[in-house]
Amino acid sequence: MKAINNFIYPDHPMFETSVRSFLPQNIVVPFCQADGKEYECTMEIGDKVHEGQTIAAPKGIISANGACIHSSVPGEIQTIVQCTLPDGKLSYAARIKTQGEFTFLGKKQNPVEWNLFSSATLLEEFKSKGIVNTFLGKTVSLATEIRNCTLKKHRFVIVRMFDEDPSRYTDTLIASHFTEKVIEGAKIAAKAFEAEGIAFVLPKKADFTIAQELIDDNFYVTATADNTKYPAGFIHSLMRQVRKTSKIPEYERFINVNHKCLFLDPETCLSIYDAIVLGIPVIERFVHVTGTCLNSAGMFKVRLGTTIRDLVEQCGGFSTPPSKIVINGLIRGNGIAELDIPITKMVKSIEFLPSRELCVQKSTSCIRCGRCRAICPEHLVPDLLYKMASENFILPRDIAATARICGQCALCNSVCPSRLSLCQTIALLNSGENNA
Ligand code: SF4
Ligand code: SF4
């Protein structure tokens, strides 16, 4: 099979060679794709669905602003199954047999004049079109995130125009090849968020630029981050870069950016553009499928619900059996154990690694070397948080508050000689368990 991965090298900037993944005969669409909540299926077995039709919607007051889930193909709901999600959790899902005419595929959509929409209308659209924010790897309903924001003033949108995990290329390539759409998506988000301005943080060696007329308008500012230095793409690093621009008088107000502002990635901005300007709900994702186990690799535009097995087939299968499958990057990603997992809104990359590329080490007890404390960019005490969590202590409020600052960069894991899962354990703390 022809290799289609050469776009990832700077001397072959051929993103156009990325392909729409094969349309699978069956898709599996989980009802849990945002905020960790499973939504209520609005369809019955045997119902016909069209491409982009809502098949699951949030229930109850808590997830009232949740992002709806759509069928990514036209077809018939064959059954409801339980499936494993890319983050390892379980969810019910609709298995849909592809058949019938497509509503969006291959058809030109007329752009909508979104400037006429109010913030409230845009938020309703975000919800009904299923838009989630994937800025930090987890999927959060964008309407929920904006409605839950407690900032009364100093609301800014910050767009990171590169991947936070340097082993991944998806966001960087979307930013580079769909720059104008990403910018327009960010503008729409800013209107919905009632923001005072937008900051685009570009990678150090960006092969794209932000249009001069945008830069001339002081609603916008651009900053640069050295994306080769992990964790340059995390909230606090981005804030530092944006605040530097405030030395220029017309951008003075950007000194007020803070961690409660709206942080977006290019994939989210592109889905906002598609949903609001073109009216297409979130039914596809760009996914980078790669790894030395595959016969070929590439960037695919994938219908949600396509299984990883289908993508492997499209890559010509395996040349070597994988020992590990990693979703969303080698630094921040998570391992999965099976190929029948469907692509959901959270997936940006899949990497198949052979055993020779893995360093298998057993975890042992903490030896109190202090390396995790020394490397933590947020000056946390990961060893202490790990100890308290793993021994099931109820965390005092001040300690629990420090855990919430954790940006999940996983640097502590990478230096720990005892191979402890510090980052993952702190994430569990933040999910509410152990807190006083
Ligand atoms: S993952 Fe570890 S190193 Fe990164 S911010 Fe959290 S505690 Fe600190
Ligand atoms: S790096 Fe690992 S072994 Fe060293 S103090 Fe931190 S948790 Fe303990």
Q: What is the mean pLDDT of each run of 10 residues along the chain (436 residues)?
A: 37 50 90 86 95 91 84 97 92 96 91 95 96 89 94 95 90 91 96 96 88 80 89 91 92 93 97 97 94 88 95 91 91 87 96 79 89 91 88 76 84 91 84 51
Phi, psi for residue 15 in degrees, rounded to 5: -60, -25
Beta bridge pairs of residue 81: 93
| CB of 412 sitting under 6 A from ligand 1 | yes
Strand partners, 298: 4, 289
Name the residue among 32, 66, 25 with its Cα closest to residue 303. 25
pLDDT (0 to 100) of residue 172:
92
Give the number of other Cβ atoms within 10 Å of residue 250's Cβ: 12
Using CB distances shorter than 6 Å, the residues near ligand 2 are 366-372, 382-383, 386, 415-418, 420, 422
pLDDT of residue 62: 66
Given this model, what pLDDT does residue 142 score?
96
* CATH number of the structural domain 21-98: 2.40.50
Using the mean position of ligand 1's atoms as its centre, give its distance from the Cα of residue 414 in Å: 10
| pLDDT recorded at residue 392 | 73
pLDDT of residue 389: 82
User: 425: CA distance to ligand 2 center in Å?
Assistant: 13
Q: How far is the CA of 148 from the centre of ligand 2 (A)?
A: 36
Return residue ranges of the chain for CATH 2.40.50: 21-98
- Cα(410) to ligand 2 centroid in Å equals 13
Residue range(s) of every CATH 3.40.50 domain in the chain: 114-277
The pTM assigned to this predicted structure is 0.88
User: Using CB atoms within 10 A of its CB, is residue 269 exposed (0-12), middle (13-18) or buried (19+)?
Assistant: buried
CATH 2.60.98, domain 114-277, yes or no: no
Cα torsion angle, 63, 90, 332, 17, sign: negative
